Amino acid sequence: MLEVQSVSKSFDGFRAVDDVSFAVPAGAIVGLIGPNGAGKTTTFNLIAGTLQPTAGAIRLGGRAIEHEPAHRRVAAGLARTFQIPKPFGEMSVLENVLVAARAQPGERMLANLFARASVRRQEQANIARAREIVAFVDLAKVERLPAKALSGGQRKLLELARVLMAEPRLILLDEPAAGVNPALLEIIMARIEAINRTGITFLIIEHNMDLVARLCGEVIVMAEGRVLGRGAPEVMARDPRVVDAYLGG
Ligand code: ADP
C-alpha cells in the first residue's frame, strides 16, 4: 500500500529523516514508534505531502506520490489525523464531518442549471453518509453541538470521522491515544480495529504501548532520523538497540 524508499529530509543541513525505507502492506496496522525527535512526525508530513523530501521516493498503491501536492494524495486515498486535532470550533460535529467529503456537491455542477437536482442528491448522500460515520464513532448524541464543546477524546473521534468521510485506503494516525481517557481510548481502539477489518490500512504514531501492543502487528522503530528496526511490538520492546534509543534519547 505504502512504500517509503531512501527518503531523507534536511532542515538547514540537519537530517531530521535520514535515508528511511519501509513498506506498509495493504490491510496492515503498523506502528511508527521511537523517542521524541526521532523523525516520526517529519516522516508523516513527507508521506502526507505537507513537506517535500530532500531525496527518495514515496509510493501509494504503486504510484509515485512524492511530487504530488497534499490534496492529490488525499484524492489518491491517503488521509491523516493530527496529534492535536483542530476542528472548526464554531461548526457542528456533523458539519465538520460533512466538509471532509471528497465529492462536494456543486463545485462543478452549479454551472449547469439543470444539474440542481443532481447537486441536491449529492448533498443528501453526503449528509446521510456523514451521519452514519458520526454514529459509528459514537458521536451521534453530540452531532449538533459545536466542535469546540467536545472533550479531547471526542475530538480524536471526530478526527477519525473526518478522515473516514474522505474514503481513504491508508490512514496515518498521529498519536490517537494522547490525552484520551481510558473509556474513550477503548472506543477509539475498537473503531480502528473495525475500520481495519473493512480493508483500510493504518500507519500509527503512538507512545501508548497498550494501544500499540493491541493494534499493531508490527512496529517500525525510528531514532535520530533513521529506522532502527522493525518487528512485533513485544520483540522490539526488548531489543537492546531500541531500549538504548529510548534511554539515550
Ligand atoms: P518526532 O515526531 O519523532 O518527535 P520530529 O519529526 O518532530 O520527531 O523531529 C525530528 C527532528 O527534526 C527534531 O530534532 C526536530 O527538532 C527537527 N525538526 C522537525 N521539524 C523541523 C523544522 N521544520 N525545522 C527544523 N527542524 C525541524
Q: Which residue has the cell 493530527?
A: 82
Query: Would you state the pLDDT for residue 109?
Result: 56
Q: Which pairing describes strands 55-60 and 29-33: parallel, antiparallel, or unpaired?
A: unpaired
- The answer, yes or no, to whether any atom of ligand 1 lies below 6 A from the CB of 9, is no
- Helices 116-136 and 152-165: crossing angle in degrees, nearest 10, is 140
Region label for 223, one of left (φ > 0), alpha (ψ between -120 and 50) or beta (otherwise): beta
What is the distance between the alpha carbons of residues 49 and 207, in angstroms, rounded to a whole number?
A: 23
Query: Would you state the pLDDT for residue 106?
Result: 59
Query: Would you state the pLDDT for residue 206?
Result: 95
What is the distance between the alpha carbons of residues 106 and 120, in angstroms, rounded to a whole number?
A: 9
- The answer, yes or no, to whether any atom of ligand 1 lies below 6 A from the CB of 40, is yes
Domains and their CATH numbers in the chain: 1-77+169-181+191-199+210-249 (3.40.50.300), 87-165 (no CATH)
- The answer, yes or no, to whether any atom of ligand 1 lies below 6 A from the CB of 227, is no
Instruction: Locate all alpha helices (DSSP H) within the chain, ordered by sequence.
Output: 40-48, 70-75, 93-98, 116-136, 152-165, 182-197, 209-215, 233-238, 240-248
What is the distance between the alpha carbons of residues 23 and 118, in angstroms, rounded to a whole number?
A: 41
What is the distance between the alpha carbons of residues 19 and 188, in angstroms, rounded to a whole number?
A: 33
Query: Would you state the pLDDT for residue 88?
Result: 85
User: Which strand ranges, in their side-by-side order, compose the sheet holding 218-223?
Assistant: 78-80, 170-174, 201-205, 29-33, 218-223, 226-231
Residues 167 and 75: beta-carbon distance below 8 Å: no
pTM: 0.91
Query: Would you state the pLDDT for residue 65?
Result: 96
> Could you tell me the distance, in angstroms and rounded to a whole number, from the CA of residue 9 to the centre of ligand 1?
10
Residues facing 227 on adjacent strands: 222
**Positions in the chain short of pLDDT 50:** none
For residue 106, give the C-alpha cell: 456543486
Query: Would you state the pLDDT for residue 119?
Result: 77
- The answer, yes or no, to whether any atom of ligand 1 lies below 6 A from the CB of 34, is yes
> Does the ipTM surpass 0.95?
yes
Contacts of 183 (CB under 8 A, 6+ apart): none
pLDDT tens, residue by residue, 8-25: 999 999 999 999 999 999
